[in-house]
Chains A and B, each alone.
Chain A
Amino acid sequence: MEKVLARGTEAIAEAAIRAGCRLYFGYPITPQSELTEYMARRMPEVGGVFLQGESEVAVVNMVYGAAIAGKRVMTSTSSPGFSLMQEGISYIAGAELPCVFVNVVRGGPGLGDIQPAQSDYFQATKGGGHGDYRLIVFSPESLQEAVELTMYAFDVADRYRNPVLLLTDGLLGQMMEPVSFPEFVDLDSLPDHSSWALSGTGMRREAHRVSSFDMDPVSLEKKNMLIQSKYKEVVKNEILYEEYQLDDAEIVIVAYGTMGRIVKSVVNQAREKGIKVGVFRPISLWPFPYVQLSKWSDQASFFFTVEMSTGQFVEDVKIAVEGKRPVEYYGRTAGIIPTPNEIFAKLMELI
């Protein structure tokens, strides 16, 4: 397949269109404004709709409205914008609607800065909004993987009627890399949502009701438990991860997204010196591959987590390892990217 040199944000946008997304609502924010810009240019070309809302609060509710009609819809934003969307995301999850969010994470908290970060991990995986709900979260390490996960995100959202989040950062969003795009999905082949979507009764059927609102605790609890049983299926079926040079590894580096990639350089560097180290890279952050990671406790002397935050992802690693082995941490924050030499030096200190 022919490759193009694509920018991260643009690759994600094109992948969404190829997945059959024809509705994009957005509000520009650095470092992902090129995604919004790409959609503004591209949606009219493919007969889709691009609409810039007056704020992220408006945007998330536009996504809610489009999803309720059963159409593939997405939005993209960066950290402060994603915070603004949390109320709407909780409603969307409560109403059980499929849609895709992209958060190109930047340094925080607050307005922070515009450099790459992974400090929205808690918000992404532990529920940024209120109530008992989950986002399904995927995090790519390369642009090719970003393209594939974006397209896959729409399928998973449809399969479980749940919002899916592509969690990436400004490094992947801004960088360029060769990418080959899969073919366009045939719009007629998309999943049929006519059994629940608000698509117009045509006076021929009862009106559908889609809502997160239920004043009766007994009935709401029943509904929440149904959602929970759906999440059990997600945990069973949707765990994704990569193992790199783990076969004989005595040290397991655990990292995701951009860091999951950078630490592979550290492994290559360490292996040249005869240090047996490998990488476990979760691709689905929720559901987190607890069991799959835990397995390496038998072989590894310790785990080493590297992330672009002050220690969020490391908590899930500790849950997985269950105290069987030490879990070390190294991270930078505020938009600073740990470099391979820096991580390698830290690794040497630990040995």
Chain B
Amino acid sequence: MAYHSVISAGFGGQGVMLFGQILSMAAMFEGKFTTWLPSFGPEMRGGTANCTVIISDDYIASPVVDEPTEVVAFNLPSMLKFEKILKENGILIINSSVIDTKPHRENIKVIKIPANDIAEELGNKMVSNMVMLGAYLKATKAVTLKSIEKALQERLTGKKSDLIKINLEAIKAGMKEVVK
């Protein structure tokens, strides 16, 4: 049974919520069960905002997760907070453009992605979250790129549809980075 539970966390404005929504929507298009649960409450400036996405072949009982199978950390506070609860042998993807500290755990798989640098090379630093999403897809194969593309088309409409191309480029760049 395929099951993924991922916490996407970072500063407000880094696109951690959208990361989760696009992923969740793609899972829905594949006919899977999925939940997207945002962190609650007034987040402190400079603190972390996060969301939990679950993708499963079976009905999802608890949308609340004790031990995520993956953590995607966009900043240092997020890595420090969620590295601790990552499941054994789970995957930790970190944004190495801003996180220069090594994770503490040994029994996890760590993938470093210089997401901000890659996004800037692409000419839009706003898409660093999609670089991370690309890395996540490559590392987990939780959903297909095709479903993600469909989700982007669904989500980015009207004026925003111009952004689909750059978002896709960012995702592909993130995927490539995992191979390296």
Contact = CB atoms under 8 A, between A and B. Distances in A.
Interface string A82-122: 00000000000000000000000000000001111000000
Contact of B62 (A177, A178, A265): A265
A175 B35 contact: yes
Interface in B4-44: 21, 24-25, 28, 33-38, 40-42
Interface stretch (A49-57, A73-81, A335-343): A335-343
B63 interface: yes
Contacts of B64: 171, 262, 337, 339-340
Interface string B88-129: 000000000000000000000000000000000000000000
Nearest to A7: B36
Interface string A124-168: 000000000000000000000000000000000000000000000
A287 interface: no
A20 interface: no
Contact of B63 (A31, A175, A342): A175
Contacts of A339: 62, 64-66
B61 interface: yes
Given A5-B24, A176-B21, A262 B36 contact: no
A236 interface: no
A340 to B, nearest CB: 5
A115 B41 contact: yes
What bracket does the count of chain B residues touching chain A fall in? 20 to 34
A265 B64 CA distance: 10
A307 to B, nearest CB: 15
B66 A341 contact: yes
Nearest to B35: A177
Contact of B24 (A176, A337, A341): A176
A141 B64 CA distance: 13
Interface string B43-76: 0000000000000000001111111000000000
Contacts of B66: 339-342
Contact of A115 (B36, B40, B63, B65): B40
27 contacts: A5-B24, A5-B28, A115-B40, A170-B40, A171-B63, A174-B38, A174-B40, A175-B35, A175-B38, A175-B63, A176-B24, A177-B36, A177-B63, A178-B28, A178-B33, A261-B61, A261-B62, A261-B63, A263-B61, A265-B62, A335-B40, A335-B41, A339-B64, A339-B65, A340-B61, A340-B66, A342-B66
Given A113-B41, A114-B40, 19 more contacts: A3-B28, A5-B28, A31-B40, A114-B41, A174-B40, A175-B36, A175-B63, A176-B21, A176-B37, A177-B34, A177-B36, A178-B34, A262-B61, A262-B62, A265-B62, A268-B61, A339-B64, A339-B65, A340-B62
